[in-house]
Amino acid sequence: MLRRDGRPQSPQAWSQAPAPNYRPAPRQDPQQPPPQQRRDWAPTQRPERIAEPAPNRRPPRGNTPPPAPPRRPAAPPSRPGPPSRPAPRRPLGARRILRRLTIVLVVLVVAMGASMVYLDGTLARVDALADYDGRVGDTPGTNWLLVGSDSRVGLTPEQEQELATGGEVGADRTDTVLLVHIPPGGGATTMISLPRDSYVSVPGFGQDKLNASFALGGPQLLVQTVEGATGVHIDHYAEIGFGGFASIVDAVGGVDICVPYPIDDPLAGLRLEPGCQELNGAQALGFVRTRATPLADLDRMNNQRLFLSALLSKATSPGTFLNPFRAWSLMSGAAGSLRVDDGDHLWNLARLAWTMRGETVTTTVPVGGFDDVYGIGNVLLWDRERAVPFFGAISEGDPIPPELLAPAP
């Protein structure tokens, strides 16, 4: 191809000729960075998933929609069933019940044991069983001396009026003296009343009433007097006053007593009709103190033994020792009301109560009559011919012969 001057045009020169609408780009300074190029002109594409045709089916032709899947026939309406009930609980097995009962029993025993140890430290103690020259040697079995004193210590004037104690009367005296013998190797326990007006020898003071020994020398002289008169070695000692007596009765919820005759004693604050009834603390105290009965002191001793048996039966019943509130009230009341020997403990008292819960023989010392002694007053005399073998059987650990026992009231 020729140029205008007649010379041929090279292909390279032709290719470098500007296009008709060509505009040269402005020259750029080499020290300036190149301008950013616009990229919004580039087309955007989104990948789409191509649906694959179902296997073994011919793809539909044209724009014909695929046929709808066949509908399943509707199920017929069902009848409403009975309302659902909760599944029955699985009954506890015998082993599980036994295991739970064992745990509860162990907890109760541990709690009672811990409470007894604690309350034992609160017991009032006295050196009642001190040794002395010529003391009776140890005899078979276990012997308790139980004393009910007429002490008003700790009672308010209102309590003295409620219990009809009659106010303070000077030195403490004994309203009740009981000798309890637990034979060796088991057998029936024997509870013996020692009348407080018994005319006996009081060491260091000559002949006097039994309760005078307590007023003259306290528990030590009383124990020494009883051992000298009976020939029986005393192993344990417990004493209770008016206030403690009533509180223990109320702690067990009262005691059931069958009163054999009507009693009306304003001095003891007592009025009872014959028959079985429940006595509260104040009524029980009047019942064991009253002399307004046909046989006076003899009936009084019978009432004391009758009451003590009923009290111990109530105290050792399942309704008491399986009830933690009542058991605690009983133990705390006993600990705050009793005075025991230095070597005695609350568990010794519990063992005594449990022992007397079984078969118990109740009697009194053989009585020979009454007499008036100058300067002393009316006294009760023992029948020495019967009293010697009576206490001799106890000191040997043998049962008391039936012919020496006092007739039942």
Segment of 95-99, 178-182, 291-295 carrying the highest mean pLDDT? 178-182
Question: 283 by DSSP, 3-state: which?
Answer: helix
- Rounded Cα–Cα distance for residues 277 and 255 (Å): 8
pLDDT band, very low/low/confident/very high, at 242 (cuts 50, 70, 90): low
Q: What are the distances in angstroms from CA 117 to CA 238, 325, 342?
A: 18, 17, 15
**Which range (56-65, 198-207, 228-237) has the least confidence?**
56-65
The angle at the Cα of 363, spanning 311 to 274, to the nearest 5 degrees, equals: 55
**Mean pLDDT of all residues in the chain?**
79
Which string of b and e fits 379-400 if b means at least 16 CB within 10 Å? bbbbeeebbeebbebbbeeeeb
**Which range (156-160, 360-364, 400-404) has the least confidence?**
156-160
- Rounded Cα–Cα distance for residues 220 and 213 (Å): 9
What sign results for the dihedral spanned by CA atoms 212, 296, 254, 321?
A: positive
DSSP state letters, 78-112: PPP-PPP-PPPPPPPPHHHHHHHHHHHHHHHHHHH
pLDDT at 120: 86
pLDDT at 14: 46
Q: Phi first, then psi: give them for residue 248, nearest 5 degrees.
A: -65, -40
DSSP state letters, 222-241: HHHHHHHHH-----EEEEE-
Q: What are the distances in angstroms from CA 281 to CA 85, 254, 258, 264, 379?
A: 55, 7, 16, 17, 30
What's the full length of the chain, in residues?
409
Mean pLDDT of 314-326: 82
pLDDT band, very low/low/confident/very high, at 233 (cuts 50, 70, 90): very high
pLDDT band, very low/low/confident/very high, at 6 (cuts 50, 70, 90): low
pLDDT at 75: 60
pLDDT band, very low/low/confident/very high, at 171 (cuts 50, 70, 90): very low
- Rounded Cα–Cα distance for residues 346 and 131 (Å): 23
pLDDT band, very low/low/confident/very high, at 269 (cuts 50, 70, 90): confident
**Which range (26-35, 141-150, 257-266, 326-335) has the least confidence?**
26-35
pLDDT band, very low/low/confident/very high, at 110 (cuts 50, 70, 90): confident
Q: Calculate what percentage of the chain has a pLDDT beyond 70.
A: 70
pLDDT band, very low/low/confident/very high, at 30 (cuts 50, 70, 90): low
Q: What digits encode the pLDDT tens for the residues 69-78?
A: 667 766 666 6
What sign results for the dihedral spanned by CA atoms 305, 311, 312, 318?
A: positive
Look up residue 402 and give its DSSP letter: G
- Rounded Cα–Cα distance for residues 397 and 343 (Å): 23
The torsion angle over the Cα atoms of residues 332, 336, 337 and 338, rounded to 10 degrees, is: 90
pLDDT at 382: 94
Bridge pairing between strands 270-272 and 263-265: antiparallel
* Domain 109-404 fold: Aminopeptidase (3.40.630)
Residue 165 pLDDT greater than 60, yes or no: no
Q: What digits encode the pLDDT tens for the residues 335-385?
A: 888 899 999 998 899 898 888 887 788 899 999 898 999 989 999 999 999
Residue spans of the domains in the chain: they are 109-404
What is the number of helices (H) and of strands (E) in the chain?
Answer: 11, 15
